[in-house]
């Protein structure tokens, strides 16, 4: 695996790959990789001839009160992990390579960027959209692989691609979980052993709600209340938001229709660590009422 630090080098390599009739898949990450990230690289490996993994902790998607400075970083560990899953290139730029002196272009998105995660982190998705667009242009990828854990983010990126006519295919890969059901995240390293154990209630809450849905529950408020009451069984959990919405556009509905795909979204705090998770399911076709 080759490590590339300069945009010009990455673009030159991408042009050479395409000139050979080969395709490129990109896996954008912020590093401190875990099995969830590695699963994305393995999927990318099956989708294109060349895989480029990017590591860049993007300052534009962190608010001033967030954890940019303490966000976990371990380049040598990440490099070794990426070599183990056969990433062809690691694009690892410095901040001033991506945002040089005088940088003055930004992206502002509306709609789904302003609700839920966007309400809790108002500048977050504009920063995500900006860096993702830059990484698409730098790697000249034909396909990009993202994880479902950041569900709202995947919809934002799909909207970005659609609105700006970007010639790239977006693939969303399933959530990879720890043994206790906790969604894998680089931020999990902030959790103490006890907090990690307690955080398993998030997955339990999602599963409780899915069981109710499978038994015929279609009312949004009832589904949300099942999740909330389950989360509250662990006093250390502080809920940021719980929403059950239509999966394709995050639309609210008082009652969901048979056959409709929905997503249950959770954001909460465990101590100083903010955790997000989600689960998708379809409303049963059979009538139970």
User: How confident is the model over 104-156, as pLDDT tens digits?
Assistant: 999 999 999 999 999 999 999 999 999 999 999 999 999 999 999 999 999 99
Helix (H, G, I), strand (E, B) or coil at 62: coil
Which of the residues are catalytic?
Answer: 37
252, two tokens? 């609210």
As a whole number, mean pLDDT of residues 235-243 equals 98
Q: Is the pLDDT of residue 286 over 80?
A: no
Quick one: what percent of the chain has pLDDT higher than 90? 98
Rg from Cα positions in the chain: 20
pTM of the predicted model as reported, rounded to 2 decimal places: 0.96
Reported as a single tens digit per residue, the pLDDT across 36-77 is 999 999 999 999 999 999 999 999 999 998 999 999 999 999
Q: Is the pLDDT of residue 254 over 80?
A: yes
Quick one: what percent of the chain has pLDDT higher than 70? 99
10, two tokens? 């990455």
* Spatial separation of the C-alpha atoms in residues 51 and 137, rounded to whole Å: 15
Q: Is the pLDDT of residue 289 over 90?
A: no
Task: List the chain domain ranges.
Answer: 2-173, 186-282
CATH number of 186-282: 3.30.1300.10
As a whole number, mean pLDDT of residues 243-259 equals 97
> Which of 3.40.50.300, 2.40.50.140, 3.40.190.10, 3.40.50.620 would CATH assign to domain 2-173?
3.40.50.620
User: Could you tell me if 277 and 203 are in contact, meaning their C-beta atoms sit under 8 angstroms apart?
Assistant: yes
Cβ-proximal residues to 178 (8 Å cutoff; 6+ apart), any chain: 184, 188, 196
Burial group, residue 109, by CB count within 10 angstroms (0-12, 13-18, 19+): middle
As a whole number, mean pLDDT of residues 154-160 equals 98
Average pLDDT over the chain, rounded to whole?
97
As a whole number, mean pLDDT of residues 84-92 equals 98
The pLDDT value recorded for residue 287 is 54
User: Could you tell me if 231 and 206 are in contact, meaning their C-beta atoms sit under 8 angstroms apart?
Assistant: no
105, two tokens? 């272009």
Three-point CA angle 158, 243, 286, nearest 5°: 90
Sign of CA dihedral 80, 85, 90, 94: negative
Task: Choose among 131, 89, 94: nearest CA to 4.
Answer: 89
Q: Is the pLDDT of residue 288 over 60?
A: no
User: Could you tell me if 227 and 209 are in contact, meaning their C-beta atoms sit under 8 angstroms apart?
Assistant: yes
User: Could you tell me if 231 and 242 are in contact, meaning their C-beta atoms sit under 8 angstroms apart?
Assistant: yes
Reported as a single tens digit per residue, the pLDDT across 17-38 is 999 999 999 999 999 999 999 9
78, two tokens? 């990440």
* Spatial separation of the C-alpha atoms in residues 154 and 287, rounded to whole Å: 32
């Amino acid at each position: 695996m080759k490590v590339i630090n300069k945009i010009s080098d990455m673009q030159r390599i991408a042009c050479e790959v395409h000139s050979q009739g080969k395709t490129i898949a990109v896996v954008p990450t912020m590093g401190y990789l875990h099995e969830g990230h590695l699963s994305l690289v393995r999927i990318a490996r099956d989708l294109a001839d060349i895989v480029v993994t990017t590591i860049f902790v993007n300052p534009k998607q962190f608010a001033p009160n967030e954890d940019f400075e303490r966000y976990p970083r371990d380049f040598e560990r990440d490099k070794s992990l990426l070599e183990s899953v056969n990433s062809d290139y690691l694009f690892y730029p410095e901040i001033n390579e991506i945002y040089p002196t005088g940088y003055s272009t930004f992206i502002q998105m509306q709609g789904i960027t302003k609700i839920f995660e966007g309400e809790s982190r108002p500048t977050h998705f504009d920063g995500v959209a900006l860096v993702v667009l830059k990484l698409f242009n730098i790697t000249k990828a034909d396909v990009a692989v993202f994880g479902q854990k950041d569900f709202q983010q995947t919809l934002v990126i799909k909207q970005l691609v659609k609105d700006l006519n970007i010639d790239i295919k977006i693939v969303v890969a399933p959530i990879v979980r720890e043994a206790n059901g906790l969604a894998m995240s680089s931020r999990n390293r902030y959790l103490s052993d006890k907090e990690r154990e307690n955080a398993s209630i998030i997955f339990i809450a999602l599963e409780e709600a899915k069981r109710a849905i499978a038994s015929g529950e279609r009312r949004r408020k009832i589904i949300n209340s099942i999740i909330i009451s389950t989360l509250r069984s662990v006093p250390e959990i502080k809920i940021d938001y719980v929403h059950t919405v239509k999966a394709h556009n995050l639309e609210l509905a008082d009652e969901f229709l048979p056959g409709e795909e929905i997503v249950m979204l959770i954001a909460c705090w465990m101590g100083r660590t903010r955790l997000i998770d989600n689960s998708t399911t379809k409303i049963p076709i059979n009538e139970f009422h």
